[in-house]
Amino acid sequence: MSDTTRTMTLHVAVLAGLLALQFVLPAYHHGNLARVMVLASYAMGYNILFGYTGLLSLGHALFFAAGMYGMGLAVQHLGAGPLPALGAGLAAGVAVSAALGALALRTAGVAFMIVTLMFAQAGYLTVLYFGTWTRGDEGFVIAQAQRVLWGLDLSDPANRYFAALALFAACLLSVLWLVHSRFGRVLVAIRENEERTRMLGYDVFAHKLAAVILSGAMSALAGACYGLLFGYVGATFASVQYSIFPLLWVLLGGAGTVLGPLIGTLFMFYLIDLSSQVTTAYMLIAGVVLVALTLFAPQGLAGEVRARLWRWLP
């Protein structure tokens, strides 16, 4: 069996498994998995920039929130339907990521990380400043009647799960295509040796800008879908923690792997969920586990599997 066949078989099996879980999971875990799939889509967007291009961003909450607020404000103040609202969220994410990329890519290394963090904080403060429209820290709820797409009520758990799965599948297949495309290989080359890639004649700045826009667009789409599927838009999703989360999810799952973001998001979600049932100091337990994983599985869970078992794993 060729590596391409193995790759496609594995990822189709993962999607089939997620589809099957829709019919067997109890209500609590059913809702959790829908949430995890949307957040994993956000992490996959982050992975394009960090895992494949080698650019460490601490400002991805700006893209996630741009998509969420682009969608939410279109519904709340313009009376837009779900599909046009999702389009507005995606457009907002593309515009914000293009602007940030054009400015932040003039820096490199630690400076890039700091600049992205500053832009994200500016976005968070903007949400608070325009509280008349955004409702600030309080946020706003999207009514059930405004969450009906093609006759399907997205507040219904089954419909919400299928919508989350459709989003995750689209992002997964897009990243899988990217990994095997010429463009994706150039991004990996930039990550490994930027100067040599430039010497080979590639426009490094243009490729990095395209990576920022692709990453921002996928993150914004995840943010728009999160707000629509779970019916809430709030400033929390623009805060620093939502820039740190995708970094942790990708590092835990395996940077530069297609399935790593899903594994990392699922692992961290349930690590916090289960430890919080044991003690109020659940973040201490989570912290110890995360440190142990960093020490003994530095390439992330999927990265270690690739290094030790399946070298063909993308």
Instruction: Print the SS3 string covering the chain.
Output: CCHHHHHHHHHHHHHHHHHHHCCCCCHHHHHHHHHHHHHHHHHHHHHHHHHHCCCCCCCHHHHHHHHHHHHHHHHHHHCCCHHHHHHHHHHHHHHHHHHHHHHHCCCCCHHHHHHHHHHHHHHHHHHHHCHHHHCCCCCEECCHHHCEECCEECCCHHHHHHHHHHHHHHHHHHHHHHHHCHHHHHHHHHHHCHHHHHHCCCCHHHHHHHHHHHHHHHHHHHHHHHHHHHCEECHHHHCCHHHHHHHHHHHHHCCCCCCHHHHHHHHHHHHHHHHCCCCCCHHHHHHHHHHHHHHHCCCCHHHHHHHHCCCCCC
What sign results for the dihedral spanned by CA atoms 41, 266, 256, 162? Answer: negative
Q: Looking at the predicted structure, is the pLDDT value of residue 226 above 80?
A: yes
Tokens matching residue 97? 């990521």
Lowest model confidence (mean pLDDT) among 60-74, 121-135, 136-150, 233-247: 136-150
- Identity (one letter) of the amino acid at 99? A
Q: Is the pLDDT of residue 311 over 90?
A: no
pLDDT at 108: 85
- What average pLDDT does range 288-301 have in this prediction? 84
Higher per-residue pLDDT: 163 or 150: 163
pLDDT mean over 177-204: 92
- Chain centroid to Cα 234, Å, comes to 17
Domain count, the chain: 1
Asked if 224 contacts 70 with a C-beta cutoff of 8 angstroms, the reply is yes
Q: Is 307 a member of any domain?
A: no
More confident residue, 99 or 300: 99
Are the C-beta atoms of residues 313 and 264 closer than 8 Å to each other?
no
Average pLDDT over residues 108-126: 92
Residue 136, domain member (yes or no): yes
Residue 83 — pLDDT band, cuts 50, 70, 90?
Answer: very high
- Name the residue with higher pLDDT: 151 or 209: 209
Q: Is residue 95 part of a domain?
A: yes
Mean pLDDT on 201-224: 95
Does the pLDDT at position 196 exceed 80? yes
Structural domain including 182 reads: 3-238
Whether 270 is covered by a domain: the verdict is: no
Average pLDDT, the chain: 91
Res 301: pLDDT: 86
Residue 311, in any domain of the structure: no
| pLDDT of 310 higher than 90 | no
* Residue found under tokens 């289960």: 274
Predicted pLDDT of residue 79: 84
Q: Which residue has the higher pLDDT, 49 or 311?
A: 49
Q: Does residue 249 belong to any structural domain of this protein?
A: no
Mean pLDDT, range 246-252, rounded to an integer: 92
Spell 125-142 as b/e; 16+ CB within 10 A means b.
eebeeeeeebbeeebbeb
Q: What confidence category does residue 1 fall into, taking pLDDT thresholds of 50, 70 and 90?
A: low
Q: Which range scores top for mean pLDDT: 116-120, 128-132, 281-285?
A: 116-120
Please report whether residue 122 resides in a domain: yes
Does the residue 57 lie in any domain?
Answer: yes
With contact defined as beta carbons under 8 Å apart, do 155 and 143 qualify? Answer: no
CA-CA distance, 247 to 12, in Å (whole number)?
A: 25
What would the two tokens of residue 207 be? Answer: 């490729």
